[in-house]
Amino acid sequence: VNNAGLTLGERTLTEDGIEATFAVNHLAPFLLTELVRERLVASAPARVVTVASDAHRGSKIDFEDPSGERKFSSWSAYGQSKLANILFTSELARRLDRTDVTATCLHPGVVRTGFGRQGPAVVRAFLKVPGGFVLTPERRADSAIWLAASSGVGGASGGCYAQRRLPEP
């Protein structure tokens, strides 16, 4: 299960010069998956589950300015990284077709963790709003565990799930 989520209040670069949100949220899971892909195929059946986000909705990948050098928005950077997760999952599923390895992704919902503590003020405030939509990690992990381990989803590949359902991304 690739589960990485970061949002920062300002544009930050990694030591490799890559915008940090994209590096953590997308490139790290991408690299890890690529490093173990041959082993997954050799030891199939296997599954790759990547945590994405509904923040992909309305997002686009800015191929002209992927690191936000000219214009940076922390929310846009987050949405772009999670859209990249979904596109990666779709392409990985295509490439793994005819193997016994599946690739899926999911939107876990808003999770009560340290996520967003370094994000912009609006994200920090949103995460403090009382109510039932910010749930514990145990509750929000349900779909990821289901996709990773349930016999009911064996063979399903390429989809992006939310609460064990397959909405249109």
Active site residues: 78
Task: Quote the Cα angle for 116-53-10, to 5°.
Answer: 35
Distance (Å, whole) CA 51 – CA 33: 13
Please tell me whether residue 121 adopts helix, strand or coil conformation: helix
Question: Cβ contacts of residue 143 below 8 Å, gap of 6+?
Answer: 106, 108, 161, 162, 163, 164
Distance (Å, whole) CA 154 – CA 90: 16
